[in-house]
Amino acid sequence: MVSPPHASRLLHAVLVATLLGFLAPASHSLRFELHSGHTKCIAEDIRANSMTVGKFAVVNPHEGHPLPESHRLSARVTSPHGTSYHQSENVESGQFAFTVAEAGDYTACLWAPEHKPEATLTVDFDWRTGVAASDWSNVAKKGQVDVMELELKKLYETIDSIHTEMFYLREREEEMEELNQATNAKMAWLSGLSLFVCLSVAGLQLWHLKTFFEKKKII
Where are the chain's structural domains? Answer: 25-133
Question: pTM of this prediction?
Answer: 0.54
Q: What is the CATH number of domain 25-133?
A: 2.60.120.380
Greater confidence (69 vs 136) lies with: 69
Lowest-confidence pick of 89-98, 139-148, 191-200:
139-148
Q: How confident is the model at residue 219 (pLDDT cuts 50, 70, 90)?
A: low
b/e 48-68 (16+ beta carbons within 10 angstroms → b): eebbbbbebbbeeeeeeeebe
Residues 152-204: tens digit of each pLDDT? 767 877 888 888 888 889 988 999 999 999 999 999 999 999 999 999 998 89
Mean of the pLDDT values across residues 203-211?
Answer: 87
